[in-house]
Chains A and B, each alone.
Chain A
């Protein structure tokens, strides 16, 4: 065996400065059990609709096996622009302002690397997706966590943002609909964030991967579509969640020409282009995937109402999620930390979920449950959690 410590010391300081994801531990424990019910999965339980899969097979038969242009297939970028014009009312950007990436993950990484210099600060409301802070740090920037709270329905407030602005603040990252809380930003609230960004002249990275997954009467509002905001926004989106295409790894960024040129530079030297097979499938998703997306959305909505009712009946109150497919119940009444709750529940009742702290320190006292799983599984998970509360808590 090599001396682990010796080699760790020789790694890049940037890599050593970031902690591994807190989710790994639960994955390892769950892997030893064969009857786990998982509410811990951050991806749809649906398989990609057949019409999309079939178009990819056809594309392969037709010989679509080459590189594409760095920015991605023109017809895909045109469909993306058409989609956002129709759904979000986004006007201005053209196919030239789109960069197709390997998932939103890549888009996030190269967006950070394009805009952050050493010491530049980026405001990141928490709880949030696990990659935001790490990507900022790897890019040489300084992630500044801004808490959001249940009493504000997990929407970050301008007051909290103002309290964290310094003369080094260069950017703001927002992710609504939100993973892990299910929060959304209605137009009026989002406009206040826009005014804030304008006041401090910030670049705004808006991760809208769950934008097509909202429930109830308040639709998703794209930050880039707010008056005057398109120019300062790096809009990130992709196909993984709405079209159940996680494994295809297709995302994209829409931004002003200077930023897209910078991101394309990094992309062309590191990735070259996103896989053509998956780009062909993504075109089909935008052209003919709508009805399948709506069907999946209706099913998530049923599960959302069921699990929300279930947690409240168990005495673990939750904010009613408005988007994405997560619910973020408050478990502080159990006296357990998020991490202990998740670990004990997994070992005793074989239900996997993710402690709120995996998404930032202000997630303490919460757990993230994904309802991208069947109603039967959700019902069984709720039964097991009820058992757990009886036997281990009260």
Chain B
């Protein structure tokens, strides 16, 4: 991975001037490269990591193990597409091991999510089984510890 991508992956909001200083290149060059990476879909988007607990919201996240019957010619691809096209589905991974797809779904309530699984996901042709795990608490997400209490304990001036 290039240094530019490393910098953007840890903080997408770095000003271009800062990136240019660090990379010892002009702002114009950096902007051009970012635009190119976006066009090439190396950079797919920019997210914000939100501590939802702080918002007091009652949304739920479910992690679902899905078993599939693969199809001739296309394997898992076609059926996976039928699943990931749903708005409710946030993330889909093809996995090795005792199940095939790991599907992450976000919904407004437990009922909302279970309803989606029962009526939409589990009924798709080729889905042979699901096991649903509801997420209870997030401790760490994308390298960020939620509610991190470690603070700068250093003295202000030291030799």
CB distance A129 to B154 under 8 Å? no
In the assembled complex, the CB of A246 is this many whole angstroms from the nearest CB of chain B, namely 8
Q: Tell whether, in the assembled complex, residue A302 and residue B22 are in contact, meaning their CB atoms are under 8 Å apart.
A: yes
Query: CA A356 – CA B17 in complex, angstroms?
Result: 29
Segment among A24-32, A141-149, A167-175, A284-292 that sits at the interface with chain B: A24-32
Which among A40, A129, A354 has the greatest number of chain B C-beta atoms within 10 A? Answer: A40
Collect the chain A residues with CB atoms within 8 Å of residue B21's CB.
305-306, 309-310
Q: Which of A26, A36, A129, A306 is close to B22, meaning CB atoms less than 8 Å apart?
A: A306
Report the stretch among A41-49, A113-121, A206-214 that lies at the interface: A41-49
Q: Is B158 an interface residue (CB 8 A)?
A: yes
Given A302-B22, A305-B22, A379-B18, A45:B157 Cβ within 8 A: no
**A23 contacts the other chain (CB 8 A):** yes
- A23, B159: Cβ atoms closer than 8 Å: yes
Given the contacts A41-B154, A45-B154, A47-B150, A306 and B159 also touching, CB distance less than 8 Å: no
Taking the nearest CB of chain A, how far is it from the CB of B151, in angstroms?
10
Docked complex: A101-149 residues within 8 A CB-CB of B = 129-131
**Main secondary structure on B side of the interface with A:** loop
How many angstroms from the CA of A379 to the CA of B22 in the assembled complex? 12
**Smallest Cβ distance from A389 to chain B, in angstroms?**
18
- Residue from A36, A352, A358, A375 in contact with B159 in the complex, judged by beta carbons closer than 8 Å: A358
State whether the Cβ of A65 lies closer than 8 Å to any Cβ in chain B. Answer: no
B81 at the interface (CB under 8 A from A): no
Q: What's the nearest-Cβ distance from chain B to residue A50, in Å?
A: 10
B7 at the A/B interface (Cβ < 8 Å)? yes
Q: Find chain A residues with CB under 8 A from B157 CB.
A: 23, 26-27, 30, 38, 40-41, 352, 354
Per the bound structure, the CA–CA distance linking A43 and B156 in Å amounts to 10
B155 at the interface (CB under 8 A from A): yes
In angstroms, Cα B100 to Cα A214, docked, is 47
B110 to chain A, nearest CB (A): 35
Task: For the complex formed, measure the closest distance between the CB of B30 and the CB atoms of chain A, giving whole angstroms.
Answer: 13
Is A21 among interface residues, defined by CB-CB distance under 8 A? Answer: yes
Give the distance in Å from the alpha carbon of A129 to the alpha carbon of B159 in the complex. 7
Knowing A47-B150, A302-B7 are in contact, say whether A42-B158 is a contact too (CB < 8 A): yes
Contact with A along B126-159 (1 / 0, CB 8 A): 0000000000000000000000001010111111
Residues of A contacting B156 in the complex (Cβ-Cβ under 8 angstroms):
26-27, 30-31, 36, 38, 40-41, 352
Contact pick for A41, options B14, B15, B22, B155, CB 8 Å: B155
Name B residues whose Cβ lies closer than 8 Å to a Cβ of A.
Answer: 7, 14-15, 18, 21-24, 150, 152, 154-159
The 4 closest A-B pairs by CB, nearest first: A40-B157, A309-B21, A30-B156, A27-B157
**Residue ranges of A at the interface with B (Cβ–Cβ < 8 Å):** 21, 23, 26-27, 30-31, 36, 38, 40-43, 45, 47, 129-131, 179, 302, 305-306, 309-310, 352, 354, 358, 375, 379
